[in-house]
Chain A
Amino acid sequence: MKILSLAIASLLNRKFSVLLTIIAIALSVALLIGVERIRNGAQQGFNNTISGTDLIIGARTGQIQLLMYSVFRLGNATNNISWQSYQEIIDDPVVQWSVPISLGDSHRGYAVLGTSTDYFTYFRYGRKQPLSLSDGKLSEDLFEAVVGSEVADKLGYSVGSEIIIAHGTGSTSFAEHKDKPFRVAGILARTGTPVDRTVHVSLEAIEAIHLGWQSGSLTSQSAVSAEEARKLQLHPEKITAFLVGVKSKLGIFKLQRKVNEYRAEPLLAILPGVALQEMWRLLGVAEKALFAISLCVVVTGLIGMLSVILASLNERRREMAILRSCGARPTHVFALLIGEAFVVTLAGIAAGLCVLYAALWFVRPTIEDRFGLFLSMAPPTLNELLLLLSILVAALIIAVLPAMMAYRNSLADGLTLRV
């Protein structure tokens, strides 16, 4: 204890350089734990994109590719599923509910999803939360759409706004379904998932806007007006994928096998949880790199501390000799320097946590709003505490170097006070 108070007195004597060191460590700690929070927030958000769906079924492709386009609206399906196969599979007695989805068109960069009203009944995200409307109601007319909250926010839509759907994906698509404008019927409440960036219409509407379209362009002679389309009996012939909920969990694997062995066309059934995990492992490289960088910053902070302590050693040889003449043992001299590193690092960690929580407090609403990333303000988790503890231990290990040098000096110098 007396050594520790001596260490503190000695540090106070070098306020300026010690303060700079503490700031460096504090910033690095704030960065490290901040990155940790972002990683966790991102993973949480990622895993929350879909829940309560037991299987996602699409044309045969990679597991991640199917997940990408069906859940994240990224990339394109290579093949579709025929309506007939869809019907045959959902006839299976283990199927409790199913939601067809049809992708491929877009609206100003946002994906357009053709689906049934079951989508709004069965789709779940996060902790099995259902979708809800923040304004308006579900589509009733063929040319009505329900838009996600980000679509409404960013494009300034409200109930009643008119939107034109573009053929194909990407915001630069030139072929637009101008002849069949849609009206916004409802706006979904924010979910923090890709649903926010989606325009939802009915499967029939997807059929309707493609009436008379041949391989990506409108053949004028066969064009059908919106009014005519409303009167037609439209039946979807193909869908992109469908989501399935089963009656009992035991049925999942049975159905998955059945789909994967389906004869009429090559299909793939994936478990969303498993696919999400695999995809996160791919993204994990970037995430790990981020973590590694912030670890390097912490090491830089600790090396800064090391150099401050080392720089002080020479001018403090006399101090050590005085302590020795007053009965301090070489181990006390050793402990004094380790104690200094301990105090500096502890102060750095404490200050770092203050910086972190202050920063979180300020940026959290913006980040949640802009990126749909939820950052936790909770007290440090066990994992984070372990990280902080290892920083402290690393600091003490690093401090062994100057402590050893001071120890050796104090043995060699003895009581002789050299100028």
Chain B
Amino acid sequence: MIDIRDVRFAWPGSARDVLDIDSFSVGSGERVFLQGPSGSGKTTLLSLLGAVISPDHGTIHVNGVDITTLRGAVRDKFRVDEMGFIFQMFNLIPYLSPIQNVLLPCQFSADRNKAASSKRSITDEAIRLLSHLGLEGDIVRQRASELSVGQQQRVAAARALIGSPGLIIADEPTSALDADARVIFLQLLFEECKRTGASLLFVSHDQSLAHQFDHTVNLSVINRAGRAQDSSVVQAGGSA
């Protein structure tokens, strides 16, 4: 599903590479746990996978397509057709209802729209997904800003899942949740990923979740840039 080769990336204006990864891959239907210290470049890696930014060097294949070759509108289309995103917090457009939030990818992607409406109307599909994730009744038509954080994260998951994209990318989706909500959320997310056959790349620094995944990858291990940076920090600290 994901295959990264020899990728280097530095933020514009920064002299040092944030990422320098020889290889990293996620298989089809696999659930991968990506961990790493704060500032090590986890979110940056996800932005590369989402084709929001382009690497300075190397290739990134998602579902067999080298996304570094995609440009402009094609990238935007590819992103929404193939991927669903869940972020740490503030995932929802506050003035839209959960249903409207869930339907957003269907508005911008014909493929997702088609996939979501294969069995029932897309609104019914959104309601179905939400109820699978434990959101039912009036709450799905209220303003999203009136939901609790845990409920908001479940709406975000439903939005990532609707129309069955091949890859779900989650950037610390559980860090704002308490322990119980975290367990429930993960369970529901796994179930839905299994149902649609989607691969899951899950970023967190909560080590206790790692055992529930097929693989665990530590970014500071695969990222050469991070090691160089860490050692320079240590040196700087040592001389102070």
Please give the residue numbers on chain A whose beta carbons come within 8 Å of chain B beta carbons, in ascending order.
Answer: 2, 9-10, 12-13, 318-319, 322-332, 414-417, 419
Contact = CB atoms under 8 A, between A and B. Distances in A.
Contacts of B107: 2, 326-327
A10 B109 contact: no
Contacts of B92: 322
Given A414-B47, A415-B47, A417-B90, A326 B95 contact: no
Contact of A327 (B72, B77, B90): B77
Given A326-B108, A328-B76, A415 B46 contact: yes
Nearest to B48: A414
* Interchain residue pairs A-B with the least CB separation, the first 7: A327-B80, A327-B108, A414-B52, A13-B95, A326-B104, A325-B85, A329-B76
B50 interface: yes
Contacts of A328: 76, 108
B90 A12 contact: no
B52 A327 contact: no
Given A12-B95, A326-B159, A329-B73, A414 B53 contact: yes
B96 interface: yes
Nearest to A328: B108
Nearest to A319: B93
A416 B43 contact: yes
B40 interface: no
A328 B93 CA distance: 13
Nearest to B49: A415
Given A327-B107, A327-B109, 12 more contacts: A10-B95, A323-B93, A325-B85, A325-B87, A326-B104, A327-B77, A327-B81, A328-B76, A329-B76, A329-B108, A415-B50, A417-B87
Contacts of A327: 76-77, 79-81, 104-105, 107-109, 112
B47 A416 contact: yes
Interface in B212-236: none
B91 interface: yes
Interface in B69-85: 72-73, 76-77, 79-81, 85
A327 B72 CA distance: 12
Contacts of B79: 325, 327
B170 to A, nearest CB: 12
A318 B89 CA distance: 10
A2 B43 CA distance: 30
A119 B80 CA distance: 84
Contact of B91 (A9, A12, A322): A322
B94 interface: yes
Interface of B: 43, 46-47, 50, 52-53, 72-73, 76-77, 79-81, 85, 87-96, 100, 104-105, 107-109, 112, 159
Contact of A415 (B52, B104, B159): B52
B108 A332 contact: yes
24 contacts: A319-B94, A322-B93, A323-B104, A324-B76, A325-B50, A325-B85, A325-B87, A326-B85, A326-B107, A326-B159, A327-B79, A327-B80, A327-B104, A327-B107, A327-B108, A327-B109, A328-B108, A329-B72, A329-B108, A414-B53, A415-B46, A415-B52, A415-B85, A417-B90
Contacts of A2: 107
B56 to A, nearest CB: 16
A13 B146 CA distance: 13
Given A414-B47, A414-B52, A326 B105 contact: yes
B11 to A, nearest CB: 11
B52 to A, nearest CB: 3
Nearest to A3: B107
A322 B156 CA distance: 10
A9 B94 CA distance: 10
Contacts of A324: 52, 76
B60 to A, nearest CB: 15
Nearest to B78: A327
A327 B107 CA distance: 8
Nearest to B112: A327
Contacts of A331: 73
Contacts of A414: 47, 50, 52-53
A326 B53 CA distance: 16
A400 to B, nearest CB: 20
Interface centre among A2, A13, A325, A331, by most chain B C-beta atoms within 10 angstroms, is A325
B45 to A, nearest CB: 12
Nearest to B171: A415
A286 to B, nearest CB: 48
Q: Name which of A9, A319, A324, A327 has the most chain B CB atoms within 10 A of its CB.
A: A327
B142 to A, nearest CB: 14
A80 B238 CA distance: 110
A318 B90 contact: yes
Contacts of B43: 416
A319 B104 CA distance: 12
Nearest to B95: A13
